[in-house]
Amino acid sequence: MSKILIIDDEVMITSTLSTLIQMMLDYEVIISNDPKALIESGILENETIDLVISDFIMPHMNGLELLSLIKEKQPNIVPILLTGYSDKESAIKSINDLGLYYYLEKPWDNNELIKVVENGIEKSKLESELKHKLIIIEKKNNEISRLYDLLRRDYDKEIDNVLEFVISLSNLVEAKDAYTENHTRRVADLAIALGRRAGLNKEQLRNVELGAIIHDIGKVSTPEHILNKPGRLTFEEFEVMKGHPEAGANIIRPISALKNTADIVLSHHEKLDGSGYPHGLSSDEINVETRIVTIADIFDALYTDRPYRVGMPLEQAMSILKEDASSGKLDHNIIVYLEDMIKTGELADIYHD
């Protein structure tokens, strides 16, 4: 049952209001004829009151002062002020200052008073329900945040496990192909540096790193005599070699944690002009992560030793890349990022290590 507090120094007024409210609304009513006695009584500390009706002119303190003290003790209470005509201006000013819900002029209209009290109680209930719901929402949000943190830790741990697995896959290729020793790690380091310059986000950089490490995983299906042939491959041998991107993608696709790297593995030999393999993709069909890994892979192949030749000088390797960019095979912007790495010494750091 809702509780209403009525304060007026005139006993007849508190008695009349109490009888009216209890008869019309069936609320519990507490009355007081002395503001000072009310403050000292402990009622405000021991009772939860939904609505208070206070007279304006009373001994010891006026209604605004009393309501201000009551609001300090019970912030959720709905305050209503009874005023005479001469007090009307002060009551209006207090609406904003005190958060006054309503003011009623003496003599009041019973129907109006009952309606105001009824609406005030409804307001109190709605505010209470809203605060309760907000508390529940806050608790749920805290729980969601806690679960998110747990999932985030599990995800990070899973990613670390995936990276270890990817490195193991890469080691399989390196064990079979003498040329690929440290190739994948260099390509990954170079691709990450290029990706940062290209403005890739954290997830894209992670895909670039994983994709670069496993881009040649399909070579586990390529015969060793082709992988380690000391001279140039024949047409037939090169056709066999060209199967490694699809073989690699087929290995990667069933692994959910690596699904975002499958395009890199499948398309790292594609060219922007459609002259690459295995599907002759072109332009926007090749995402930026794949373009970056492609250029990192080609640069490392040109710049480092291979079974049938020693690595090219830096100037010659860059000349070939620029020519391919000019002819529309490679992304020109990424070549510019690579040139910037040369100027800053970052490329030398990767290959020195």
Instruction: For the chain, report the end-to-end CA distance as a whole number of angstroms.
Output: 78
Amino acid at site 149: D
Q: Is 322 a catalytic residue?
A: no
Residue 157 to residues 152, 208, 260: CA-CA distances in angstroms?
8, 19, 18
Q: What gap in Å lies between CA 49 and CA 3, rounded to an integer?
A: 5
Strand order of the β-sheet with 3-7 is 28-32, 3-7, 51-55, 78-83, 102-105
Residue 174 to residues 110, 180, 206, 216, 295: CA-CA distances in angstroms?
93, 5, 21, 9, 20
Identify the CA nearest to 193 among candidates 344, 319, 352, 330.
344
Q: What gap in Å lies between CA 8 and CA 31, rounded to an integer?
A: 8
Pairing of strands 51-55, 28-32: unpaired
Q: What gap in Å lies between CA 97 and CA 91, rounded to an integer?
A: 10
Q: Which residues pair with 306 in a beta bridge?
A: 309
Neighbours of 280 (CB within 10 A): 12
Cis peptide before 79 (omega within 30 of 0): no
Q: What gap in Å lies between CA 342 and CA 299, rounded to an integer?
A: 12
> Catalytic: which of 131, 202, 219, 271?
219
Q: What gap in Å lies between CA 30 and CA 1, rounded to an integer?
A: 13
- Helix ranges, the chain (H): 11-25, 35-41, 43-46, 63-73, 88-98, 110-176, 183-197, 202-214, 224-227, 235-241, 244-252, 262-267, 288-303, 314-326, 332-344, 346-352
Amino acid at site 2: S
Active-site positions read: 219
